[in-house]
């Protein structure tokens, strides 16, 4: 998906948020915003939002000493979700259609995000949203048809914390479709609150399949910048489930037939693109 003018303010807000999390002074925060505006002025017309975000957050890390400003945030998100994992898993297993319930839960967990698009303020509000997902154009029947008879699945994760919900979904897939080989991909380096290999191991999702990274620290699987291992796995997968708005922005419209996007719609731009309500949870098959 190309970058729209509406995306500019979001980049600036994310940059300001990252600067404040990193403890920068007001003068340093101003320099970060100035640098973001320079990046936006120089961008290619066809650049996707994840491509721009990758460049912007690289500059922010350079200006803040090269650390991961979201490390503590991700640890807190993982701890919160692990603390309620068993109760969420039990609710899924007791549902009339456990796999569909797990899909809805995993989609709702995409709300675990940072920045101005976040739809909750307290952990109580988040947990309520996880248990009462607000759906729009949820194509679970099409996905389940594709998974039936599939040899393998590539699951492209998004955020820390959220991957606990992904873990519950992948457990449900393994129970109902034990012959499907699962590969899970996380980010190749820290970016925003996106899940990395460290997060995957901490929450135990690595026990459900082969774990790889995208080979890139972009907040979306931009195929041109991903590793050979990831791109080969993507091409050879019978079914791909890509989580989150960043993966949608990077992959929508690519030449992959059985590719599904599972996300919370976080902004008006993506809402228009998907014809779905802002804040809603959607599951869509790729439109080539």
Residue-wise pLDDT tens digits, 67-116: 788 999 999 999 999 999 999 999 999 999 999 999 999 999 999 987 66
Same domain for 104 and 20, yes or no, is: no
Residue 118, Ramachandran bin (φ over 0: left; ψ between -120 and 50: alpha; else beta): beta
Q: SS3 of 226, please?
A: coil
pLDDT digits (tens, 9 = 90+) for 214-257: 999 999 999 999 999 999 999 999 999 999 999 999 999 899 99
Structural domain range at position 11: 7-63
Query: Rounded to whole angstroms, how far apart are CA atoms 62 and 40?
Result: 18
pLDDT for the residue numbered 22 = 85
Same domain for 240 and 157, yes or no, is: yes
Structural domains counted in the chain: 2
Average pLDDT over residues 182-190: 98
Query: Where does the pLDDT of residue 181 fall: very low under 50, low under 70, confident under 90, or very high at 90 and above?
Result: very high
Last residue of a domain, one of 16, 39, 63: 63
Query: Where does the pLDDT of residue 2 fall: very low under 50, low under 70, confident under 90, or very high at 90 and above?
Result: confident
In the chain, which ranges are E strands? 135-138, 152-156, 181-186, 210-213, 239-243, 259-264, 281-285
Q: Has residue 133 been placed in a domain? A: yes
CATH number at residue 188: 3.40.50.10880
Q: Quick one: which of 174, 212, 217 has its CA closest to 194?
A: 217
pLDDT digits (tens, 9 = 90+) for 121-140: 889 999 999 999 999 999 99
pLDDT for the residue numbered 115 = 63
Same domain for 92 and 221, yes or no, is: yes
pLDDT for the residue numbered 116 = 61
Q: Has residue 24 been placed in a domain? A: yes
Whether residue 288 has pLDDT greater than 80: no
């Amino acid at each position: 998906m190309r970058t729209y003018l509406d995306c500019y303010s979001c980049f600036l807000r994310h940059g300001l948020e990252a600067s404040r999390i990193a403890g920068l002074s007001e003068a340093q925060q101003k320099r970060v915003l100035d640098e973001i505006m320079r990046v936006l002025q120089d961008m290619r017309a066809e650049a996707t939002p994840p491509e721009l975000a990758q460049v912007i957050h690289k500059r922010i890390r350079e200006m803040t000493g090269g650390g991961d400003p979201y490390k503590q945030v991700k640890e807190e998100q993982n701890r919160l979700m692990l603390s309620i994992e068993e109760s969420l898993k039990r609710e899924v297993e007791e549902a009339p259609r456990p796999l569909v319930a797990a899909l809805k839960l995993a989609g709702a967990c995409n709300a675990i995000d940072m920045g101005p698009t976040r739809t909750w303020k307290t952990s109580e509000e988040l947990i309520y949203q996880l248990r009462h997902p607000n759906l729009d154009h949820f194509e679970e029947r099409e996905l389940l048809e594709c998974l039936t008879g599939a040899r393998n699945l590539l699951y492209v994760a998004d955020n820390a914390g959220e991957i606990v919900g992904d873990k519950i979904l992948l457990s449900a897939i393994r129970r109902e479709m034990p012959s499907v080989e699962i590969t899970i991909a996380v980010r190749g380096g820290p970016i925003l609150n996106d899940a990395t290999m460290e997060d995957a191991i901490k929450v135990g999702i690595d026990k459900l399949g082969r774990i790889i990274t995208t080979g890139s620290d972009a907040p979306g699987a931009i195929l041109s910048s991903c590793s050979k291992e990831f791109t080969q796995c993507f091409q050879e997968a019978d079914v791909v489930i890509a989580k989150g708005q960043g993966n949608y922005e990077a992959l929508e419209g690519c030449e992959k037939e059985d590719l599904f996007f599972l996300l919370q719609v976080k902004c008006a731009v993506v809402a228009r693109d998907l014809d779905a309500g802002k804040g809603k949870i959607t599951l869509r098959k790729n439109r080539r």
